[in-house]
Amino acid sequence: MARTILASATKEHVIGFDQPFTMIGERINPTGRKLFSKELKEFNYWRVKKEALAQVEAGAQILDVNVGVPLADEPLIMSEVIPLIQSLTDVPLCIDSSVMDALEAGLKVYKGRPLLNSTTAEEEVMERILPLVAKYDCAVVAISNDDTGISEDPDVRFEVAKRIVNRAADFGIKPEDVVVDPLVMPIGAVNSAGTDVFKLVGRLRSELGVNTTCGASNVAFGLPERHAINNAFLPMLAATGMTSAIVNPLHEGLVPAVRAADVLNGVDPSCANWIKNYRPAPAEGTGEGARRGRGGRRRRG
């Protein structure tokens, strides 16, 4: 049974088949956000702090950290942002970049065992990323595309993922440390996108024994009320075997939907986490202390 063990300096987190679904917060990412990009280029990290704290408060168990801004010193920014976030929260981090030097800059300063995002099946990419994974003993996201691009055929994407898992083994990287992203297609363009990924996740789990993740919001790209689709999609992914996803935990209804899936999938024993988060607070004057106050004194007679 695959158990991907990640850690900060003080806290361990396990992604696994028998574990609650892992939410990886996506908000520390300047893509499409002009003000955030400008701030990062100026080494202004106040928004990084804000997004980190808000996502953990909302329920994210891991934070994805992407500081990629054109013409910025990404390795330097990454080397400063990682320790900053680790000083604010104890959740593990996912170091996310397409720049090799930025990935290694983050790994050098990271305390614990992070997730590295990511490698593809392109041989040149694997030759650069997998030795880094082995050197720093971390886990890695493996994206199911290669030099031919992204196939719409889920069987092809399975074979691409299998190639990465096998290539990782050449570097001493175990299957449990490869978290496969099977790639979610927009359902507005590919009508079978949902059922394709459900079947693919099942195969990745049963045949390769690997944990999985995805950018869940891709499924509803271009559609109205896309958050409603996302909130329905995540529990369905969890039911078919996906063990994590990169999400925005601040979107209304998303975190309760994931926690409800944990209950229904049997990975929230005794519904303890659900009850802890959603049990109504006792009305004023109805708590245990109030009951003792009303009925605790003996009557004389």
With respect to residue 77, please indicate whether it lies within any of the assigned structural domains.
yes
Count the domains in the chain.
Answer: 1
pLDDT of 174 reads 97
With respect to residue 13, please indicate whether it lies within any of the assigned structural domains.
no
Q: What is the pLDDT of residues 138-196, one digit of tens each?
A: 999 999 999 999 999 999 999 999 999 999 999 999 999 999 999 999 999 999 999 99
Residue 242 CB partners (closer than 8 Å, separation 6+)? 21, 201, 212, 213, 214
With respect to residue 215, please indicate whether it lies within any of the assigned structural domains.
yes
Provide the pLDDT confidence category of residue 288 given band limits of 50, 70 and 90.
Answer: low
With respect to residue 296, please indicate whether it lies within any of the assigned structural domains.
no
- pLDDT for 298 beyond 60: no
Q: What is the pLDDT of residues 68-122, one digit of tens each?
A: 999 999 999 999 999 999 999 999 999 999 999 999 999 999 999 999 999 999 9
- pLDDT for 225 beyond 60: yes
pTM here? Answer: 0.93
CA angle 146, 197, 125 (to 5 degrees): 20
- pLDDT for 296 beyond 80: no
- pLDDT for 290 beyond 90: no
- pLDDT for 291 beyond 90: no
Domain CATH code at residue 44: 3.20.20.20
With respect to residue 289, please indicate whether it lies within any of the assigned structural domains.
no
With respect to residue 298, please indicate whether it lies within any of the assigned structural domains.
no
With respect to residue 76, please indicate whether it lies within any of the assigned structural domains.
yes
With respect to residue 287, please indicate whether it lies within any of the assigned structural domains.
no
* Structural domain harbouring 75: 19-277
